[in-house]
Amino acid sequence: MQSTDQQFQFERFSVQKLSYFVVDMNQAIHFLSRHKHSILYGVSLAGLLFVLKWLELKYLIFNNGIEIYIGSIALLFTALGIWLAIRLMKPKIKTVLVEKEVYISNTPFIRNEKELTRLGISKRELDVLQLMAKGLSNGEIAEQLYVSLNTVKTHSSNLFVKLDAKRRTQAIEKAKQLGIVA
Amino acid sequence: MQSTDQQFQFERFSVQKLSYFVVDMNQAIHFLSRHKHSILYGVSLAGLLFVLKWLELKYLIFNNGIEIYIGSIALLFTALGIWLAIRLMKPKIKTVLVEKEVYISNTPFIRNEKELTRLGISKRELDVLQLMAKGLSNGEIAEQLYVSLNTVKTHSSNLFVKLDAKRRTQAIEKAKQLGIVA
DNA sequence: ATCGTCTTCATCCTTTCGGGTGAATTTCAT
DNA sequence: ATGAAATTCACCCGAAAGGATGAAGACGAT
C-alpha cells in the first residue's frame, strides 16, 4: 500500500526522468570534486597537448591548416566546458508532499510526542486538554489543577489556536485524531 | 530519507557516466538548434579565428610556443562551454519527497444498536449527536439538519438526560464509549 | 378516535465558553 | 544575565450552551 503510493507518485513525475538523471549527475560531481576531480581536467589537457605534439611531429597538423586545428581544439574544449558545467550545476529543489497512512492501534494508547512538539503544546496545556477530553468544564478543570478559572480559559484558548479548533469539542476531536489524548 | 534512496540508486549507475554525458550533450545540442543560440557560438568561434589570424600575421603567436597558445584556446573555450551550458541548460530539478503522516484507525466502526434502544435515543437525536461529536456547534447542526436552533437545543438537552451528561463534551465522550458514535 | 412518542419550534433565563487584552512571575537555555 | 517561552491570573464582553417549560403537528399503535 505504501509502496504503491510512492510508485504512483513517481509515475506522476515520470516526465521528469531527466531531472532524476540530473540528480544522479550532481551526485557524480560531488564524488569527483571530492576526489580531486580537477586532476581529470588537467590530465585531459596535458594528454591533449601530448597528442598534439605527436601530431605536430607527424606533420599532420598543418597539412589541413592551422584554422581547422584550432577549431577542433575549440570545439573539443567547448564540449568539455559544457560537460563540466552540466556536472557542476546545482539542481533546484522541489518538495513534494506525500501522505502516508498511519494506522493507529486502539488498545494501547501511545502519546504522539511528535505532534505535541510540532503543535507546540506545553505540559500544562496538555493537562487541560486531557481533562477537557474527559468532558470536564473549565471550572472543574480549574479545581482539578488547583488553578483559577481564568488560567484554564487562557490555556484552552491557546489550545484552540494551536489545534486550529473553534470549539472545545473540535479541539478534543482533533487531539484524539492526532493521538495527543486517549 | 527518500533522497538517500535516490542517492544510492544513482551511485549504482555511476559506471555509466559517459553515456549520461552523451545524452546530456544531445540535450544541449537540441537546445542550441532550437533557440538559435548556435549562431552566437558560431560567430564567437569565427571571431576568435579571425583574431587568431590577426595574431598570426603579427607573428605573436609562436613567440611563446604553440603549447601555451593551444592551452589558452583550450581554457577559453572551456569557459565558453561552461557559460553556454549554464545559459542553455534546462533548470535542474531535484525532487524531494516528504512524507506527511495521516492517522487512520484500522478498526471499522460498528454502531451499538442495543445501547441506542436501551437509552431510548431517537433517530433525530442520533443525528444531532453525530454532528455534535464531529465538533459542530448547535447552530451548525441546525443548518446541517435544516431545522431551527431551538430544535437542536431541545434534542441536545434530551440527549444529555438520556446519556446522563452535564455537558455536550461529556455526552460525546459517553456516546463514543458506548459505541453509539464513531 | 385516542394515546403516546417523535419532531418541531418558541421564550425566558442562567451558566459556560471563548475572544481580546494586559500583566506578573517563573523557568530555562543561551 | 538576559531574553524567550511558559505559567499564572485578571477584567470585559459577546456568543454559545444549557435548563425549564409550553405547545403544535405528524405518525403509528391500540
User: Does residue A64 carry a pLDDT above 80?
Assistant: no
Option in B10, B74, B94 nearest A91 (CB):
B94
Calculate the angstrom distance between C1' of C25 and CA of A71.
80
**Of A88 and B128, which is predicted with more confidence?**
B128
Q: How far is the CA of B180 from the C1' of C1 (A)?
A: 38
State yes or no: pLDDT of B21 exceeds 60: no
- The reply to whether A55 touches chain B by the CB within 8 Å rule is no
Query: Which carries the bigger pLDDT value, residue B110 or residue B12?
Result: B110
Q: How confident is the model at residue B100 (pLDDT cuts 50, 70, 90)?
A: confident
Categorize the per-residue pLDDT at B60 as very low, low, confident or very high, splitting at 50, 70 and 90: low
Q: What is the pTM of this model?
A: 0.57
Fill in the amino acid letter for A95: T
* φ and ψ at residue A101, rounded to 5 degrees: -80, 130
3-state secondary structure string across chain A:
CHHHHHHHHHHHCHHHHHHHHHHHHHHHHHHHHHCCCHHHHHHHHHHHHHHHHHHHHCCCCCCCCHHHHHHHHHHHHHHHHHHHHHHHCCCEEEEEEEEEEEEECCCCCCCCHHHHHHHCCCHHHHHHHHHHHCCCCHHHHHHHHCCCHHHHHHHHHHHHHHCCCCCHHHHHHHHHHCCCCC
pLDDT above 90: residue A61: no
Q: Which nucleotide is nearest to A160 (CA to C1')?
A: C18
Percent of chain A at pLDDT above 90? 34
Average pLDDT of chain B is 74
Of B94 and B128, more confident: B128
* Chain A CB within 8 Å of residue B92 CB: yes
Say if residues A146 and A152 touch (Cβ distance below 8 Å).
no
pLDDT tens, position by position, A110-145: 888 888 999 999 999 999 999 999 999 999 999 999
| A 104-133 residues inside an 8 A Cβ radius of B | 104-106, 112, 132-133
Q: Does B18 touch chain A (CB under 8 A)?
A: no
Cβ-nearest to A135 among B7, B45, B173? B173
Is any Cβ of chain B less than 8 angstroms from the Cβ of A1?
no
Gap from A119 CA to D2 C1', in Å? 27
Question: Who has greater pLDDT, B103 or B140?
Answer: B140
Q: So what's the pLDDT on residue A160? A: 95
CA of A160 to C1' of C26 (A): 24
- Cβ of A167 less than 7 A from strand C: yes
Partner-chain contact A80 B85, CB within 8 Å: no
For the segment B151-161, what is each residue's pLDDT rounded down to a tens digit?
999 999 999 99
For the cut 80, the answer to whether the pLDDT of residue A58 exceeds it is no
Q: How many CB pairs under 8 A join A and B?
A: 230
Query: What is the per-residue pLDDT for A2?
Result: 35
pLDDT of residue A66: 65
Which pLDDT value is given to residue B8? 35
Mean pLDDT check: name the lowest of A74-88, A92-106, B8-22: B8-22
According to the per-residue pLDDT averaged within each range, which of A104-113, A136-145, B109-118 is highest? A136-145
Name the more confident of A93 and A174: A174
- In order of A24, A98, A166, B1, B97, the CA distances from B5 in angstroms are 11, 16, 41, 7, 11
Instruction: With CA atoms as reference, report the closest residue to A152 among A124, A180, A121, A171.
Output: A124
